[in-house]
Every structure is written in structure tokens, then in C-alpha cells.
Structure 1
């Protein structure tokens, strides 16, 4: 099948199909006498697998490793489980960071609502973000600072 038909059947652009072929994710197509690529039927299943694997967060490098194992006749299940567990762990860490960021934004928003706009006279310092006049840092309610403010350097003469 020609590249256009493969693209239509899989929803993968012709440019991406060529890229996958260059990267070894898709085996090189045979060439017709006119130079056009001629893909076998199993290219459809291969591209669908690549799309499915990418939807789980796997990288092309990881997908290539799975395909290499499969091509060698080895079982891929244990390797895939390891990859997915690693991605899940990374996702959980990312969610924790996002939750901390959300807590920071909630605290800063509450702080901003409590400040008097008339007192905001320093064009180089946002009192909402920089902390209060006593130098206290904004915290997440558990004593953890929400941010760092730049160090103020005193001029010595």
C-alpha cells in the first residue's frame, strides 16, 4: 500500500510515517519501480501499536526497544510493565508538584485579597509575592515557603 493509504488508515501523517521509518520504528518500505514506498499490511498494525504506546506516555526510544524485543522473539510483557511503572511513578511525582503549586497559588491569591492596594507603592516589588513587611515568607500553611525572593544586597562603601 502507498504511504497515503497507510496514512488514511492509521491517522498518522505521511511526514510522521517517513520519520518513523527514518528512526527505525517502522521498517523501511519496499520501493515500487516508480520509487514510491510500498508498505505491507502489517504496517497498519505497527503504526496503531506506536500510537497506542505513545498515548500511554512511552517515548519513541522506549517503543523501539519494545519492538526490538518483539523482533528478536523475546517476551515484551515484563519490559512494558517496568516502563509503565516508571512512567506512573514519574506521573505521581508530577502530580505532587502540581498540588504544591496549586497550594501556593491558593495561598498567594488569599494573601493578595487581604492586602491594601494603596500600600503597593514600590514598582520593583510585588507585595503579594515578595512577603510581608516583616520579611516573613508566604507559606503553604504547613510552614513551607511558597517561593524564594531575590536576595537583597546592601551596598557597602
Structure 2
């Protein structure tokens, strides 16, 4: 399978696929009768796994460990790592929710003031927008 086909099937850019290949994250290529090398079906499966890991929030430092066949993942290790990811994501969601509420408050304040014909100075706007 050529890189263009992997691109179509995964939605990844060719440069991204080459990057993962250069890092050794993809299975070895096979020689092609048309010259050059072609990726095996296992490369497609590996790219889909990489994409899934990224969607779950795993980093480029963590993904190779998940792909390493020498690492024996037991149920406890997998559950522990997934629970850690869940906690990390929950904390991120809380921070984003707080930021969302702050933005809603700023919008409300600005709308109320502008509806009354009150126009804030740039200093006042800056103060409101820098509030966290």
C-alpha cells in the first residue's frame, strides 16, 4: 500500500505518516515490484491505533510505550493509565468550563453596558478581558 492510500484511509497527512515511520512506529515496509517500498496492511492498523491513542489524550512520549510489543500490558496497568487520563481530562474540562463562564459574564457585562449607551474606555475593556 502506497502512502497516498494510507493518507486516504486514515485522513493523516503524508508528512505525518512519514514522521511516524521515521520514528519506527510503523511496521517495516515491503519491497514493491514497481520500485520503492510499500506499507503493509499492519501499517494501516498501526496508524489507526495511533490515532485512537491520540484521541484518548496520549502524548507522543506515551504512544511508543503503548505500541511496544515487548511491554506486557496487564489489565491493572491499562486501567490505571486510562483512569489517569480520565482524571487529566476531567481537570481540563473544569478549567475550560470556568473559562467559558468567564467569557459569558464578560459578554453579558458588555451587552448591558452597550445597551445603556455606556461605552467603556480601552483601559476598562482591557481590565475586564484580562480578568481570570
Q: TM-score, normalised by structure 2?
A: 0.70
Match of 1:109 among 107, 110, 120: 107
The Cα offsets for residues 1-48 of structure 1, whole Å up to 9 and x where unpaired, read as 333344444443432221111112113324447751232332222122
Change (3 A) 1:108 1:27: same
CA contact (8 A) 1:3 1:38 kept: yes
Counterpart of 1:23? 23
Distance 2:101 2:8 in 1: 45
- Higher mean displacement: 7-16 or 40-49: 7-16
CA contact (8 A) 1:3 1:37 kept: no
How do residues 1-157 of structure 1 correspond to structure 2 at under 5 angstroms? 1-32=1-32, 36-68=36-68, 71-72=69-70, 74-75=72-73, 77-112=75-110, 113-114=112-113, 117-118=117-118, 120=120, 123-126=121-124, 130=127, 147=131
CA contact (8 A) 1:30 1:38 kept: yes
Unaligned runs of 5+ in 2: none
Superposition RMSD in Å:
3.1
The Cα offsets for residues 78-111 of structure 1, whole Å up to 9 and x where unpaired, read as 4433332222212211221222223323333333
Greater C-alpha radius of gyration: 1
CA contact (8 A) 1:4 1:14 kept: yes
Q: Number of residues paired by the alignment? A: 129
Unaligned runs of 5+ in 1: 132-145, 149-157
Distance 2:83 2:122 in 1: 46
